């Protein structure tokens, strides 16, 4: 089994501190929503975000959208051999049922995630496909997710051929990818990882790294 955990992901509701900023209020009025019940989005709220800590990397739910579509629609997931998790910058853990079919349409994805952040489960009736649990530091996520080995992915890691790395690994492996577009992990990922792996000399997008991991793992276990 392969588990993917997107760490320090830049997805959150609009922080109270900027909820009354003009850019946020205009967007909220257009969407007929309360500002603090909307996802923070760097494209729409960048003027309001200027005074937030780490403003340049925050508000990127689009990264989580691309990542989840890549993971959930993969052959490995269809075979039942992939588990997908999101850890957020505010220490929430989002658990994703492998049978989840996410909307491809971005505004619909945003609406779904807003419901998840407010209700902590989607759908509310029956078995939730998406569940949000609060108070999950990166370290607590590691305790929750079954694994025998942890591989963190970073451009600064050791250059490794992924197929060879995964070959012969029947053990449950947990792969960590940063859920942000700029900077480094906020969490102490390095000290909790067995290996720190680079797959290319240049920075790659989160979903490219995810697809390389998934396809190489699948090829490796298929022999
Ligand atoms: C877009 S990168 C983060 C920003 C990156 N430090 C940069 O300067 O572009 C997001 C995540 O993708 C993974 N990643 C990106 N490029 C990689 C590479 N060449 N090798 C391994 N992982 C990589 C890492 O997990 C990283 O945290």
Q: pLDDT (tens digit, 0 to 9) for every residue of the chain, 223 residues total? A: 999 999 999 999 999 999 999 999 999 999 999 999 999 999 999 999 998 999 999 999 999 999 999 999 999 999 999 999 999 999 999 999 999 999 999 999 999 999 999 999 999 999 999 999 999 999 999 999 999 999 999 999 999 999 999 987 767 999 999 999 999 999 999 999 999 999 999 999 999 999 999 999 999 988 7
Residue nearest to atom 18 of ligand 1 (CA): 155
> Which atom, in ligand 1's list, is nearest to the CA of 201?
19
The predicted structure's pLDDT at residue 171: 79
The predicted structure's pLDDT at residue 170: 65
**Residue 106 main-chain phi, psi, to 5 deg:** -65, -45
Q: What pTM did the predictor assign? A: 0.97
Give me the count of residues in the chain: 223
Distance 184 CA to ligand 1 centre (A): 8
Q: How far is CA 135 from CA 3, 41, 100, 114, 155, in A?
A: 20, 23, 24, 18, 29
Structure tokens at 94: 């989002």
Please tell me if the CB atom of residue 166 comes closer than 6 angstroms to any atom of ligand 1: no
Residue nearest to atom 12 of ligand 1 (CA): 206
- Pairing, β 149-159 against β 195-198: parallel
């Amino acid at each position: 089994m392969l588990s993917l955990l997107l760490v320090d992901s830049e997805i959150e509701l609009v922080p109270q501190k900027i909820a009354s900023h003009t850019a946020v209020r205009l967007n909220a009025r257009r969407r007929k929503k309360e500002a603090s019940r909307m996802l923070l989005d760097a494209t729409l709220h960048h003027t309001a975000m200027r005074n937030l800590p780490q403003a340049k990397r925050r508000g990127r739910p689009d990264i989580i959208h691309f990542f989840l579509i890549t993971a959930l629609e993969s052959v490995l997931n269809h075979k039942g051999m992939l588990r997908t998790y999101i850890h957020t910058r505010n220490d929430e853990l989002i658990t994703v049922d492998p049978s989840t079919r996410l909307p491809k349409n971005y505004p619909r994805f945003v609406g779904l995630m807003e419901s998840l952040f407010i209700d902590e489960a989607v759908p509310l009736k029956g078995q939730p496909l998406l569940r949000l649990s609060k108070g999950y530091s990166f370290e607590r996520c590691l305790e929750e997710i079954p694994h025998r080995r942890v591989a963190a992915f970073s451009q600064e890691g050791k250059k490794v051929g992924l197929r060879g790395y995964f070959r012969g690994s029947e053990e449950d492996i947990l792969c960590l990818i940063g859920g942000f577009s700029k900077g480094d992990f906020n969490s102490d990922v390095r000290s909790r990882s067995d290996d720190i792996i680079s797959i290319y000399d240049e920075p790659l997008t989160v979903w490219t790294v995810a697809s390389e991991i998934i396809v190489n793992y699948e090829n490796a276990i298929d022999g």
